[in-house]
Amino acid sequence: MASSQDSNISLKSTDYRNALRIRPKKTQQSAQILTISTNLNILLFRRHQPMTISKLIKKFATTLAGTAFVTLSGTTATQAISITPTSNGNDLLNEILGSGITIAPDSINYTGASGASGIFTNGLSSGIGMDSGIILTTGTATDAKGPNDSDKKTTDNEFPGDPDLDELIPGFATEDATILQFDFQTEGGDVFFNYVFASEEYVEWTNSEFNDVFGFFLNGTNIALIPGTSTPVAINTVNGGKPLGTDASNPEFFNNNDPSEGGPFFDLEYDGFTNVFTAQALGLNAGTHHIRLAIADAGDAFLDSAVFIQANSFSDSFKEPEPKSPPTPDFQPKSQLTPDFQPKSQPTPDFQPKSQPTPDFQPKSQPTPDFQPKSQPTPDFQPKSQPTPEPDTSIKDAQDIPEPSIVIALLGVGFAGLYSRKKSIKCNN
């Protein structure tokens, strides 16, 4: 007989991991159903997260709506990010190695699941701000490819955490750590490299105990810091808040891609990611230095996180980050519409021949020059107007009048006056 406690959902996280193992392989027809089922399972099995039935139903409805949106929207037209899985430490390091750095070959070591890391290309199409490099994850590297068809992408690699990462977030235990470490020397005394942190923990589990974290430990000191601070980059230190806009931490560095928060906006699986940051150390002493590039889940092994490191950026000189994203192809044709308007702006030649056979209209467009040629073709009146200053005065006044019709009228009056004056002189003689 069922007890009164049956209404309280309480299942072990190991049961969830076993359930994932026996799931059949995804097919195109079952992919969305499996996504909904996986999302619901994570809601049920998240540890230390009591949830009422009404809250569970509301959350499931949100997840279902987000999945339906992705199903209808389909994929983007741009070429998607491409990821080649590899756990070969030499291959990973060679991809990010730049100028001015010498590696100690025997020092290269990779720790983590075989599918948790890889080399990526076409990264600009996903909006992460770097075109190629390596990816280290707490789950499966190839899951980073968009579109974002799941709010809860998860792979439990059943790997331990990392003590250095544990120290970055006191009170949290890490799991599923992926680590690439090696020794190097720098010619210029400095070291730089560019990176982006991304996670499925956004936005639902922001400001909670599930605080996935990563670090770049140079001689034991983490240099993966929020710009201008000594704060490590993590879910709870760079985010847009929960819900978005509420209790946000450094939101100017955060990019939302959550289907439950209006997304997806980028062709990337992760629900959120940071801007391109630069890890750096200046004025290093001569000799060999050791660095550990590490990332891990925190709080549990669910919901994957990743760090992207730009190709050839691990060097002794700063490498400018690439554009955040390529120009949206849909807007390119719109910006190229200007040539279509050029022929429309060239109808002026059509009016030129019309204005040429009718020179009478040219004086109207140029009032001042029109008056001058009209006064010149009547030289007979010039000597007659010299003895009397009145016509000269009227002509000067007419130059200030903008309308040719008024000028012509005044000229008519002036000429009539001159003619009558001429008659009167003859009579007196």
Q: What is the pLDDT of residue 78?
A: 53
Q: What is the pLDDT of residue 69?
A: 37
Task: Judge whether 354 lies within some domain.
Answer: no
Q: Are residues 417 and 286 in the same domain?
A: no
pTM, full prediction: 0.62
Please report, rounded to a whole number, the percentage of residues in the chain having pLDDT higher than 70. Answer: 57
Q: Are residues 235 and 256 in the same domain?
A: yes
Q: How far apart are CA 203 and CA 207, in angstroms?
A: 9
Q: Where does a domain end: 43, 74, 105?
A: 74
Q: How far apart are CA 391 and CA 178, in angstroms?
A: 101
Task: Judge whether 20 lies within some domain.
Answer: yes
Q: Are residues 174 and 295 in the same domain?
A: yes
Q: How far apart are CA 278 and CA 223, in angstroms?
A: 9
Q: Are residues 227 and 376 in the same domain?
A: no
Residue range 401-411, pLDDT digits in tens: 445 444 444 44
Q: How far apart are CA 130 and CA 123, in angstroms?
A: 6
Task: Judge whether 297 lies within some domain.
Answer: yes
Q: Are residues 404 and 308 in the same domain?
A: no
Q: Are residues 110 and 51 in the same domain?
A: no
Q: Where does a domain end: 278, 309, 326?
A: 326
Q: Which domain holds residue 130?
A: 77-326
Q: Are residues 152 and 25 in the same domain?
A: no
Residues in Cβ contact with 217 at an 8 Å cutoff, skipping those fewer than 6 apart? 164, 223, 291, 292, 294
Q: Are residues 54 and 182 in the same domain?
A: no
Q: What is the pLDDT of residue 210?
A: 85
Task: Judge whether 336 lies within some domain.
Answer: no
Q: What is the pLDDT of residue 324?
A: 54
Task: Judge whether 344 lies within some domain.
Answer: no
Q: Where does a domain end: 31, 57, 74?
A: 74
Q: Of 384, 359, 382, give the one whose Cα is nearest residue 370.
A: 359
Q: At 142, phi and psi to the nearest 5? A: -70, -15
Task: Judge whether 70 lies within some domain.
Answer: yes
Q: What is the pLDDT of residue 43?
A: 47
Task: Judge whether 357 lies within some domain.
Answer: no
Q: What is the pLDDT of residue 320?
A: 86
Q: Are residues 60 and 87 in the same domain?
A: no
Q: Are residues 101 and 24 in the same domain?
A: no
Please state the domain count of the chain.
3
Task: Judge whether 16 lies within some domain.
Answer: yes
Beta bridge partners of 121: 82
Q: Of 323, 328, 326, give the one whose Cα is nearest residue 129.
A: 323
Residue numbers of the chain with a pLDDT score lower than 70: 1-78, 323-429
Q: Are residues 179 and 234 in the same domain?
A: yes
Q: Are residues 104 and 142 in the same domain?
A: yes
Q: What is the pLDDT of residue 274?
A: 98
